[in-house]
A and B are shown apart, each in its own frame.
Chain A
Amino acid sequence: MDSDSRLIFEKGYNHPHNNFIPKMDIECVNIDDLISKTLQREDLPIPDIPEIEIVRHFLNLSQKTYGVDTGIYPLGSCTMKYNPKINEVIARLPYFSKLHPLQEENLGALELIIELSKILCQVTGMDGFTFQPAAGAHGELTGLLIIKKYFEIMNLKKNAIIIPESAHGTNPASAKMAGFSIIKIRSNKDGEIPIDLLKYAMEGDNVAGIMLTNPNTLGLFERNIKDITKIVHDYGGLCYYDGANLNPILGICRPGDMGFDIIHLNLHKTFSTPHGGGGPGSGPVGVKKELIQFLPNPCIFLNKDGFQYRECSENSIGRIKCFWGNFGILIRAYAYLLALGAQGLKRVGEISVLNANYLQVQLQKKYHVPYNRTCQHEFVLSDKNLPNDITTEDIAKRILDYGIYAPTIYFPLIVSGAMMIEPTETESKASLDNFVKVMLNIYEEARSNPELIKNAPHNTPVKRLDAVLAARKPILHD
């Protein structure tokens, strides 16, 4: 392993190569005749670096990075499932990767978008999709703008959205970007939305609707979901579904049937497209037919004559991103869905729930599980039982010492010292058993040797880093 800690810029030299430059084959003129010297830069401080240095540098960096291909990645709310390699091959087919978004001969791409829409409509119970949003949060913004437009057309001043306190941070942030104020609603003791509080919140005549995740961020299915959406509709509101937690219900039930009017999906979660170290993702937005007119231009949607391509709708919220969306990601999601078929899809849902419950029931022996019931694809532990003032963060850091990645910590906010665990359906029993062993081991270590945990990690390339220093004296480039 490379112990060279230099940045790539320190590996330059003074013999530039032209390995990546095509040979110049037309007559050149003096560059100063094409662009005035005053508009030209004096220096470009990016060094020339030999190829082998670049290769070694990044190969070594990759070996100090942990991905799903390395081992279990139990990040709750992220659905870190296996990314099929065939999808990478397909996305790189030149007839896809070299396609310009503005060229006219794009029937293959349009057909892919149409076919993907058809499948996702089936899977989710919605009637039309836009693929412009580049991420889940972008999808949320899109969906909320659709809600905004819906009420604007009706001349109704509805500028508040109900959001549970357990919601992912993007939900309220997106609502704010769409110009809404937020009405927070607390979960009841079972971790679900209390119907009486919901009714009370809906009484305000400025409430546009509700944003929900189901199963929710505690990994629990909202048992009263049909009542919830009915109440919101009865008061004239719309229901938005955050699709981050769609994985466990694939092939089992559908947000459209639950009563949701608008949904977003996270292709990089549920539909196996790689997370890429933080992106790119894709956050398609699906709507019921009454809302199709509001989808961003241009769009493809299903009506009684089949799928239609629409360049422009007067009532559209407008464009939400340049070109078509993250098409390269759509290719991968489409390939995944074709690979699975109906049976495979259902199996994904079923095994994701099996794996999560398998972990929960065993970790419950030592760790505190605040909502003690069957979970769906993920579950949350709290810091209640942790001995010797050990924090959730300490536990997470110690997990790294065992060569696996730690789950999500300190989310959702409604659980003290939350640790959210989502194994996904692609983890083997052996991998799950190992994770249980590691977690139970660490609990014992916390009891008998707390200092070991408090000072973790010990086995990683660096020990615990000073986040306070990084924020007080930010150094963001070399």
Chain B
Amino acid sequence: MDFKVPTDRKYTNSHEWVRLENEKAVMGITDYAQYQLSDVVYVELPKIGEVFEKGSMIGEIESVKAVDEFNMPLSGEIVELNDQLHNNPELVNSSPYDEGWFLKIKINNPSELDTFLTANQYQELIQREENQ
């Protein structure tokens, strides 16, 4: 099975993607993640203004048969949320890298991005998980 892994962004071990836009980080979940979940019915996002450390659990994605948490990829403050997701959670499935974005973060420490996976490294991670 082939999963989309755009090269214009970085990835985490827990299947989130992060892209820098001006000084903010935009995040969402990957094509592989949305496929595992199957039809997303709801995304619980944190609130604007909330501040989190990298790695904290900040929200949940629900499908009919499962719930998955997602984590703060970088320390910082939540500054924008994708309002579309409330009424159209299916965007996470149909457009995980574009219209299905979750939120934007004002980051404290840009060097945290150095620890992220590149597109190639993420492809390898998917391969390893598929083979298990």
Contact = CB atoms under 8 A, between A and B. Distances in A.
A90 B89 CA distance: 52
A468 B92 CA distance: 14
Interface string A447-478: 00000000000000000000110011000000
A410 B41 CA distance: 20
Interface residues of A, number: 5
B88 to A, nearest CB: 9
B1 interface: no
Interface string A427-442: 0000000000000000
B39 A468 contact: yes
B90 A472 contact: yes
B65 A468 contact: no
A471 B63 CA distance: 8
Nearest to A467: B64
Interface in A161-185: none
Given A468-B39, A471-B41, A471-B42, A410 B65 contact: yes
Contacts of B64: 467-468, 471
Nearest to A472: B41
A410 B90 CA distance: 24
Interface in B81-127: 89-90
A472 B41 CA distance: 5
B61 to A, nearest CB: 12
Interface in A195-244: none
A467 B40 CA distance: 11
A471 B64 CA distance: 7
B8 to A, nearest CB: 29
A245 B89 CA distance: 39
A410 B65 CA distance: 10
A167 B47 CA distance: 35
B80 interface: no
A223 to B, nearest CB: 30
B60 interface: no
A475 to B, nearest CB: 14
A471 B38 CA distance: 13
Nearest to B65: A410
B48 to A, nearest CB: 24
Contacts of B90: 472
A410 B63 CA distance: 15
A471 B37 CA distance: 14
Interface string B42-54: 1000000000000
Contacts of A471: 41-42, 62-64
Nearest to A471: B41
Contacts of B42: 471-472
Contacts of B39: 468, 472
Nearest to B62: A471
Nearest to B93: A468
A472 B63 CA distance: 9
A85 B120 CA distance: 66
Contacts of A410: 65
Nearest to B90: A472
A472 B89 contact: yes
B86 to A, nearest CB: 10
A468 B65 CA distance: 10
Nearest to B38: A468
B22 to A, nearest CB: 32
A226 B79 CA distance: 57
A472 B90 CA distance: 9
Nearest to A468: B39
B128 to A, nearest CB: 19
Contacts of A472: 39, 41-42, 89-90
B46 to A, nearest CB: 21
B20 to A, nearest CB: 31
A468 B89 CA distance: 11
Contacts of B41: 468, 471-472
B42 to A, nearest CB: 7
Interface string A31-54: 000000000000000000000000
A468 B42 CA distance: 10
A180 B84 CA distance: 38
B40 to A, nearest CB: 8
Interface in B9-55: 39, 41-42
A220 to B, nearest CB: 25
A393 to B, nearest CB: 10
Contacts of A468: 39, 41, 64
A467 B39 CA distance: 10
A195 to B, nearest CB: 26
A8 B48 CA distance: 44
Nearest to B88: A472
Nearest to B64: A467
A468 B64 CA distance: 6
15 contacts: A410-B65, A467-B64, A468-B39, A468-B41, A468-B64, A471-B41, A471-B42, A471-B62, A471-B63, A471-B64, A472-B39, A472-B41, A472-B42, A472-B89, A472-B90
Given A468-B64, A471-B42, A471-B64, 12 more contacts: A410-B65, A467-B64, A468-B39, A468-B41, A471-B41, A471-B62, A471-B63, A472-B39, A472-B41, A472-B42, A472-B89, A472-B90
A-B residue pairs, 10 tightest by C-beta: A471-B41, A468-B39, A467-B64, A472-B41, A471-B64, A468-B64, A472-B89, A468-B41, A471-B42, A472-B90
